[in-house]
């Protein structure tokens, strides 16, 4: 469902969020939760933050709620286990590094909580399957937080393709690359080796962090719209260049869908940029079809404009700005995925039609295959699919810290 829904249908359904981790994206997501849904013309759902947890300390949770100008009533926890035990929490937002997603999401599901988990859902496909099995067995909602799928822009593009407006889509090329080169141009990037973007202990690397977005465009245009019985996992051919930390720095993934004679090309890098001049001169995404193509402007994760180009001429430019709540002077676009979670919870749906479990799994399989082909090997303790409530990934003991 897009924005602009539910006007005049009575009291909005309010969802009570528990926030797991207090880093950068948790801050952005929570600021979106705190915006007034009416500022995006949403009338049927609302959000409230009832608890925040930090694995570092209660003080960090307190600073977080202050920083985001969040509700003083929110409970503050110094452990993820305390958060998932809170009876007032309807859904847990997991905002930890990739390495932690499986254990943290399991912690929440095992405690009977619904989960929205940041992308990439897990480090391995087996972990993703285990999360889905657990959610299904416990009758809980689970969704990978691929927020772009819930943008009105994405919905419009999926509708355009489904309506046949550009004919049959045969190829999608999508890129999300950040030029993070150091000024010395010595092949090193601005991230320290310990940073989650390049640190293998945190399942860093271009593909899991950025490449998941070009793959989202490949899948939402070439896979998602196919009839259920015709969906086929792609044949995956990948090339990977590894950074000095062993994580991938530049990765290209070819996805071939033989049944539909279509092909996706997803590229990602931390050494070159999709839009180096910052003027959206080249499209980040090209959805190429028999009667024309759709071009989507950078960045692939937060696009606000696309062009429909018909074979033989004719260009329509479609702007899809992200609404701001004037009272908070804020609007990032993550609220649409939160609205989707709220509607699923309200309606008793355990998975989203726009980001279904099976699709998160097939994308994880695709990324796993690409990383395998490129020789990227992550440490055992973050690739295991054996859940351990006492794993340091759940208790927050940092690498090298004394065992508790």
Ligand X SMILES: NC(=O)C1=CN([C@@H]2O[C@H](COP(=O)(O)OP(=O)(O)OC[C@H]3O[C@@H](n4cnc5c(N)ncnc54)[C@H](OP(=O)(O)O)[C@@H]3O)[C@@H](O)[C@H]2O)C=CC1
Give the residue with the Cβ less far from ligand X, 44 or 340: 340
Nearest distance, CB of residue 209 and ligand LJPVP2WV, angstroms: 5
Give the residue with the Cβ less far from ligand X, 226 or 304: 304
Torsion over CA of 145, 358, 15 and 123, rounded to 10 degrees?
-40
- Enumerate binding residues for ligand X (CB under 6 A): 21-26, 54-56, 60, 95-98, 100, 118-119, 145, 147, 196, 202, 209, 301, 396, 398
Nearest distance, CB of residue 279 and ligand X, angstroms: 22
Give the residue with the Cβ less far from ligand LJPVP2WV, 301 or 335: 301
Nearest distance, CB of residue 150 and ligand LJPVP2WV, angstroms: 14
The answer for residues whose C-beta is within 8 angstroms of residue 375's C-beta and 6 or more apart is 240, 242
Count of CB atoms situated within 10 Å of the CB of 267? 21
- Residue 209 lies near ligand LJPVP2WV (rule: CB under 6 A): yes
- Residue 32 lies near ligand LJPVP2WV (rule: CB under 6 A): no
Decide if 354 contacts 149 (C-beta within 8 A). yes
Q: Which residue has the tokens 């003083």?
A: 72
Nearest distance, CB of residue 23 and ligand LJPVP2WV, angstroms: 11
Nearest distance, CB of residue 301 and ligand LJPVP2WV, angstroms: 4
Decide if 351 contacts 149 (C-beta within 8 A). no
Buried b or exposed e, range 278-314, using 16+ CB within 10 angstroms = eebeebbbbbbbeebbbbbbbbbbebbbbebbeeeee
Give the residue with the Cβ less far from ligand LJPVP2WV, 68 or 300: 300
- Nearest Cα to 306, choosing from 145, 147, 152? 152
Look up residue 242 and give its two tokens. 């590894």
Nearest distance, CB of residue 161 and ligand X, angstroms: 24
The residue count for the chain: 404
Count of residues in contact with ligand LJPVP2WV, rule CB under 6 A:
2
**Cα(393)–Cα(97) distance, rounded to whole angstroms?**
10
The answer for residues whose C-beta is within 8 angstroms of residue 251's C-beta and 6 or more apart is 205, 206, 207, 211, 238, 239, 240, 241, 267, 268, 269, 370, 374
* Residue in 80, 301, 335, 336 binding ligand LJPVP2WV, rule: CB under 6 A: 301
Radius of gyration of the CA atoms of the chain, in A:
21
Give the residue with the Cβ less far from ligand LJPVP2WV, 191 or 387: 191
**Cα(267)–Cα(211) distance, rounded to whole angstroms?**
7
Chain residues 219-248 in contact with ligand LJPVP2WV, contact rule CB under 6 A: none
Give the residue with the Cβ less far from ligand LJPVP2WV, 257 or 301: 301
Nearest distance, CB of residue 274 and ligand X, angstroms: 15
Give me the residues that bind ligand LJPVP2WV (CB under 6 A), please: 209, 301
């Amino acid at each position: 469902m897009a924005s602009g829904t539910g006007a005049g249908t009575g009291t909005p359904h309010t969802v009570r969020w528990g926030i797991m981790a207090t880093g950068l994206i948790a801050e952005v997501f929570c600021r979106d939760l705190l915006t007034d849904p009416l500022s995006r013309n949403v009338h049927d759902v609302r959000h409230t933050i009832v608890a925040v947890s930090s694995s570092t300390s209660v003080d960090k949770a307190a600073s977080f709620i202050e920083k985001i100008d969040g509700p003083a009533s929110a409970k503050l926890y110094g452990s993820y286990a305390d958060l998932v035990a809170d009876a007032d929490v309807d859904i847990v937002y997991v905002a930890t590094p990739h390495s932690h997603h499986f254990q943290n999401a399991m912690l929440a599901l095992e405690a009977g909580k619904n989960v929205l988990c940041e992308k990439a859902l897990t480090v391995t496909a087996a972990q993703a399957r285990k999360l889905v099995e657990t959610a299904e067995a416990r009758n809980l909602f689970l969704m990978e937080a691929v927020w772009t799928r819930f943008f009105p822009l994405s919905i419009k593009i999926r509708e355009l393709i489904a309506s046949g407006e550009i004919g049959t889509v045969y190829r999608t090329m999508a890129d999300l690359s950040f030029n993070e080169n150091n000024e010395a141009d010595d092949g090193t990037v601005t991230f320290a080796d310990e940073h989650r973007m390049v640190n293998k202990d945190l399942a860093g690397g271009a593909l899991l962090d950025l490449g998941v977005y070009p793959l989202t465009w490949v899948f939402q245009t070439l896979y998602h719209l196919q009839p259920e019985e015709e969906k086929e996992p792609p044949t995956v051919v990948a090339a990977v260049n590894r950074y000095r930390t062993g994580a991938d720095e530049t990765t290209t993934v070819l996805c071939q869908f033989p049944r539909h004679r279509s092909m996706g090309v997803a590229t990602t890098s931390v050494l070159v940029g999709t839009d180096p001049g910052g003027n959206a001169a080249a499209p980040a995404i090209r959805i190429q079809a028999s009667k024309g193509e759709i071009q989507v402007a950078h960045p692939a994760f937060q696009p606000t404009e696309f062009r429909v180009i018909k074979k033989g001429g004719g260009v329509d430019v479609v702007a899809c700005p992200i609404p701001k709540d004037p009272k908070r002077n804020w609007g990032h676009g993550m609220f649409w995925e939160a609205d989707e979670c709220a509607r699923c919870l309200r309606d008793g749906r355990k998975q989203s039609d726009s980001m279904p479990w099976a699709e998160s799994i097939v994308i994880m399989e695709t990324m796993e295959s690409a990383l395998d082909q490129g020789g990227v090997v992550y440490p055992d303790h973050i690739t295991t699919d054996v859940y351990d409530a006492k794993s340091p990934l759940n208790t927050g003991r940092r690498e090298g810290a004394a065992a508790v």
